[in-house]
Structure 1
Amino acid sequence: MEINARFDEPVLTHTDQIDWVPSPMAGVDRRMLDRIGDEVARATSIVRYAKGSSFPEHTHSGGEEFIVLEGVFQDEHGDYPAGTYIRNPVGTHHVPGSEPGCTIFVNLWQFDPADQEQMSVDLNSLKVEPDPNRPGVSTAAIAERDYEKVSLEVWEANTEVVLTDTGGFELLILDGTLRHKDAEYARHDWIRWPAGKEAKFTSGGQGARVWIKRGHLTNITAPVK
């Protein structure tokens, strides 16, 4: 299966316009944003757990990172409310589920196997600092690696922001709105931009809070089956 598998092309997605697709487990559905592979896949998705649903124990052969967008995600390590960002490196395993139900944004099979730091970050309490090079933008680093940089950014109202990275970038709108050309994107919309290309956005009247990952879109491979 291939979905938005041309990484040399921009992808701008109104995620609420994508159909939910059932997963192999009852009560767990997903909106597929990009994908290379079938059930084992390099994938970016929004996943919805119905109340009381879960997956059986499994190992992350390619690692995973996710943001809890709504509800409470749960596994044997704890409960993670909306606003939590989690990184589970290659080789980790758990039993994911949600008694109250939840929705998460998740990236699969996108880790360097040597990156073994497991982390959980509360994005709602993360302190952002003004970026001296970009007026109207404040930022906080979440995870900085040789192969990628993950950060939280807050854009003040009506701020023009130009983004580019030699390794490409993707962003998820956590709150607020932003505009690209004649289209407006809102909460939980997702954008992926090719390596070395420039994109210009303008935040809306209430500003925007965005999760951004940079530098990871130049070495795209399908998972090993």
Structure 2
Amino acid sequence: MKLNADLSKRALVYSQSLTWVDSPMDGVQRRLLERDGGEMASRASTVVRYQAGARFSPHSHDLGEEFFVLEGIFSDESGDYGQGMYVRNPPGSRHQPFTREGCTIFVKLGQFAPHDRHVVRVDTQRTAWLPTAKEGVWIMPLYRRDEHDSEYVFLLKWAADADIEPHVHPGGEEVFVLQGSFADEHATYPQGTWLRNPAGSHHQPYTREGCMMYVKTGHLGAAKELSRAAESATGVPGREG
């Protein structure tokens, strides 16, 4: 299967309008956002819903797993992860996930650099928001391997009526809207929207009701030197927004 598999093209999915599709495991359903391959996809981004008591068989992640808990409590043998938890399990990691009460997660598979061995656990409900240079814009860093790494994962929060100056994403941008909505010259993006803008894309986003989103930048192409002008425009280092 190839679904939004061309990383050089813009992709937009309103996930809450999709039908839940049964997975091979009982009690586990999915909404597919992007996929390259079959059940053992080389790359996938998915919203996954576990019914209460659902359990996945033990499995490994050759190129890593990244997930954010949207609702409920997701568990494996290493612990319980409640709403707002951000987790990265590196290439070669193995686990047997389950849930007691049910949960929904946003999960990305097969998208790590092979040498990335960092295990990450961030409880975003207990982590402070950091102000940016842009009034009404806050950031919560989730992952950056080091200062030289172009890939950057973070939460972004915009106050109501925030307007962001036009800016470019030299290494691309991926967004999943967690709360509220935002818009740009291309479309409007309500809660549950998954958006992937390719390397070199540009836009001028804004929000009227306020918005909180998961964002990843710099992972869709060879990121170039980021200019101070773009940092000033978005209020976030690295042209995030």
Same fold, judged at TM 0.5 (above): yes
CA distance in 1, matches of 2:167, 2:157: 14
User: How far did residue 183 of structure 1 move?
Assistant: 4.0
**Partner-residue secondary structure (3-state), 1:114:** coil
Counterpart position of 2:79: 78
1:191 counterpart residue number? 195
Give the TM-score of the pair, scaled to structure 1.
0.91
Can you list the C-alpha shifts for 1:3-41, whole angstroms capped at 9, x where unaligned?
012222222221111121111111111100011111111
Partner of 1:2: 2
Give the 5 Å matches for 1:51-200. Answer: 51-132=52-133, 134-145=134-145, 146-161=149-164, 162=166, 164-181=168-185, 183-200=187-204
Q: Distance in 1 between matches of 2:170 and 2:48?
A: 29
Residue equivalent to 1:223 = none
Contact 1:2 1:37 (C-alpha < 8 Å) held by counterparts: yes
More off after superposition, 81-90 vs 159-168: 159-168
1:166 maps to amino acid: P
Percent identity over paired residues: 41
Structure 1 consecutive aligned stretches of length 4 or more whose deviation exceeds 4 Å: none
Paired residues for 1:199-218 under 5 Å: 199-205=203-209, 207-218=210-221
Q: Which has the higher strand share?
A: 1
What CA distance in whole angstroms lies between the structure 2 residues aligned with 1:29 and 1:195?
A: 31
Q: Please tell me whether the aligned partners of residues 167 and 196 of structure 1 are also in contact (alpha carbons under 8 angstroms).
A: yes
Displacement of 1:209: 1.1
Looking at structure 1, the residues matched to 13 and 184 of structure 2 have their Cα atoms a distance apart, in angstroms, of: 12
Determine the C-alpha separation between the residues in 2 that align with 1:148 and 1:46: 22
CA drift at 1:140: 2.2
Taking the aligned partners of 1:178 and 1:78, their CA distance within structure 2 comes to 34
Q: Per the alignment, in what secondary structure is the counterpart of residue 53 of structure 1?
A: coil
Paired position in structure 1 for 2:231: none
Q: What is the identity, as a one-letter code, of the residue corresponding to 2:94?
A: H
- TM-score using structure 2 length: 0.85
1:178: Cα distance to partner? Answer: 0.9
The residue that corresponds to 1:32 in the other structure is 32
Aligned residues of 1:176 and 1:204 also touching (Cα < 8 A): no
Gaps of 5+ in 2: 223-241
Number of corresponding residues: 217
Is the alpha carbon distance of 1:182 and 1:8 closer, same or farther for their aligned partners in structure 2, counting shifts above 3 Å? closer
Which structure 1 residue ranges, 5 or more long, are not aligned? 220-225
